[in-house]
Structure 1
C-alpha cells in the first residue's frame, strides 16, 4: 500500500525531544508594564480634561495679573492725573511731540516713573495694533484684598459695614464708576467675581479717578459662598432688581451692616445669588425708562443709604 503524500519541507514533531520555543515572546508578554498612570495623565480620562481646564484657568489668571498697558495720549494723561501705580512710560521712536506728550513726560518725571523710548514695532507688538499714538503707560498689577480680611477689619473698628458686590459686570468702566461711588458715599469695599468679570485694569483705574488706590477691591471665587459669609457676620444682603418687593423709597435698613448686590443691565443678578439675598429692591423710575446702567443704579442706592446713615 502506498504511503500518503508528505511535503518535503514539513518538519516532523519529535514527541520525545524539545519543541520549537516562542523565542521569549510569551515571557515578555507576561512581564509587568509598570505602575498605572494617574487618572489625570490618561488622555481618555475625564480627570485629564479637568486638568487641562485647570491649567487654562491658571494661565488666564496669570495673564490677568500681568502688568496692563494703557495706550493713547489722552488715556495715559488721565491715568497719570489719577496717580495710577505705573511701572514705566513707553514712547515709540519718531513720535511727533505735542502738548499732551510733553505733559505726560513731565508728569512721569515728577512721579519718578521711568521713561523708555522703544522702536515703534516693539510698541506695536506690545499692544497688538498700531492705534497707540506712539505712547503707552505700563500699569502695575492691582493688589486685590481678601473678603474675610475686609469683614474682620470693619468689625474691629466697630463700624456698620457697607459693601457692594458686582455680579455679571464685564465692563471695566462700570467697575471703575462703582468703585468711585462706593468711596464717595462711605462704602468699605467692592467685591467682584474672580472669573467672567471686569478686573481692575487701566480703564477701571481711569474711571475711578484714582479712588481705586484707597478703596479696597476683593475677588471672590464663589459669590454665593461670599454672600453667605456676609450673612453669617450679621449683614443684610440687598439685591437690586426690577420688580422687587421693596423700593428705595420704602427701605430703611441702610443703617445696619449691609451688602448691595448689583447685576448687569442685561442679565441682572444670577439665580443662586438672588436666592441668597435677604431683600430684592427696585429703584423707582419713570414708566418709559426700562432700566438703569449698573454703575448709575449703584450710585443712586449708595447715595440714599449714605443719607439714611447721616440722619440716623
Structure 2
C-alpha cells in the first residue's frame, strides 16, 4: 500500500585514557520524541579515530572540535586534505603525535590510522523536523531505517554506512538499549555518521505512528514475514524496521508495523547479520 499521497513535505595536556569503549547508554532522547541534545552524555567530548571518520568530522561545520592528533606518517599521506580542513572555521588545534600520545588518548583496540579527533557528540535533529524538511534533490525515494534496540556499535556503524551509500534519509533508534555515538561506531561508519542523521526516540511505537501519519509504509524485517520485501515494497515512502540479532523485533514493534516481510535467504544460512540485512534491504528499496 502507498501512503505517499499523505506525506507532508513541507588545548590541554594529554587526555585521560578511557579503559574501555563499550556501548554505554543509548542516544539521549526526550519523552515522546527524538533526541533534543547530542547523542550520548550531553556535550561530553570524546575521541573519534580513523581516516574517514576524522576527515568527515573535520569537514562537518556542526561538529564542535577540540583537538586533533596527527602522526607524522598520516600528516604526510593526508597533508593536502588536512591543510584544507584545518583552514575552515572552527577547526581544532593540530598536534603531531607519537605512539604514546595515541595510546594515552584511545582504547587499546582503536585502529586510528594516525588520526584522532577530540570533539563533542553531534546534535541530532528531531524526527518531526526530519519529516517536515524537503527531501534532497538527489534522493531517489523517502526511506528511513528504524532500529529496535540494536546495541552493537559496529552493526550500527555499518548500517549508517549503508544508509549513506544508498541514500536513506536517516536512521532512527531507541533512546535506551541502543548504541550511542562512540569512536568505534563512527569508525565503522567510515564517514557516514557525519552525513546521515542518527535520531533517538523514547517511544519507538509512537515514532512509527508518526512516520505512518507522514505517509510512510512501515515494513518490519522478520523471518516469519509472509511476503518478501521485493513483493511488499511500494513506490511511496518506507520505514524499514530491523530488530536486534537473536531477539528480533519486540512484540509492540511487530504489531505497529504495517506488515512483516522477509528476505529470501536459503539453507543452510537462513538469517543474515542485521547490518548485512539492512544493506540488502536498502538496495532492494532504493535500486
Paired position in structure 1 for 2:193: 212
Of 172-181 and 156-165, more deviation after overlay is shown by 156-165
- Structure 2 counterpart of 1:188: 169
CA contact (8 A) 2:143 2:168 kept: yes
- Taking the TM superposition and a 5 Å limit, the aligned residue runs for 1:221-232 are 221-232=202-213
**Separation (CA, whole Å) in 2 of partners of 1:217 and 1:286:** 32
Match of 1:302, SS state, is: helix
Higher helix share: 1
Q: CA deviation at 1:108?
A: 4.6
Q: 1:121 to 1:108 in 2, by over 3 A?
A: same
1:141 lines up with 2:121 in the alignment: yes
Find the residue that maps to 1:163 and give its secondary structure.
strand
Structure 1: runs of 5 or more not aligned: 1-60, 92-96, 308-312
Residue 227 of structure 2 contacts residue 261 of structure 2 at CA under 8 Å; is this kept in 1?
Answer: yes
TM-score scaled to structure 1, two decimals? 0.64
**In angstroms, what is the RMSD of aligned CA positions?**
3.5
Higher relative contact order, structure no. (Cα contacts within 8 Å, ≥ 6 residues apart): 2
Q: Does 1:265 align with 2:245?
A: yes
| CA contact 1:265–1:291 (8 Å) conserved in 2 | no
Choose 189-198 or 204-213, whichever is displaced more: 204-213
Larger gyration radius, structure 1 or structure 2: 1
CA deviation after TM superposition for structure 1 residue 262, in Å: 0.9
Give the Cα–Cα distance (whole angstroms) in 1 for the partners of residues 51 and 135 of structure 2.
39
Within 5 Å, give how 1:289-300 maps onto structure 2.
Answer: 289-300=269-280
- Distance in 2 (alpha carbons) for counterparts of 1:145 and 1:110: 28
Q: Output one character per residue of 1:165-222: Cα deviation in whole Å (capped at 9) or x when no partner.
A: 0112112222222222222223211111112101233333233232332322211111
1:198 has 2:179 as partner: yes
Q: Give 1:136 shift.
A: 3.9
User: How many angstroms does 1:252 deviate by?
Assistant: 3.5
Matched ranges for 1:73-152 at <5 A: 75-84=49-58, 85=63, 86-90=65-69, 99-100=73-74, 103=77, 108-112=82-86, 113-116=92-95, 127=106, 136-152=116-132
8 A contact 1:80–1:107 mirrored in 2:
no
Partner of 2:232: 251
Aligned to 1:235: 216
Rounded to whole Å, the distance in 1 between the matches of 2:105 and 2:72 is: 23
Gaps of 5+ in 2: 1-38, 87-91
Please report the TM-score for the alignment, with normalisation by the length of structure 2. Answer: 0.69
What's the counterpart of residue 41 of structure 2?
63
1:160 Cα deviation (Å)?
5.4
How many residue pairs align between the two structures?
A: 237
1:304 equivalenced with 2:284 (yes/no): yes
